[in-house]
Amino acid sequence: VIPYLGAGWAYVYTKPVADSFSFGGGFLTTCKLAKHLNLVLDLHAMILQDKWDDIRGGRHGEGIVDASLGLNYHF
């Protein structure tokens, strides 16, 4: 399991256009299935400013959570 953290800038190109400072982190893990085949799982969460969805409420921010599952084959 590999934990990671990061900061950056998020931008939406479609209307309503939005941009925001972002802070995120997650966990990346790999499980060996066969000699040349690995299963990869990445769990990630990102925190953005409240203006992200163009609806401002009493909150201090908004969040996005995602998961990716994939296979790596080593030639």
DSSP reduced 3-state for 52: helix
pTM equals 0.73
Q: What are the tens digits of pLDDT across the range 1-60? A: 999 999 999 888 877 777 888 999 999 999 999 999 999 999 999 998 877 666 666 667
Within 8 A by CB and 6+ apart from 35, the residues are none
Q: What are the tens digits of pLDDT across the range 9-25? A: 988 887 777 788 899 99
Beta carbons of 29 and 41 less than 8 angstroms apart: yes
- As a whole number of angstroms, the distance between CA 10 and CA 21 comes to 6
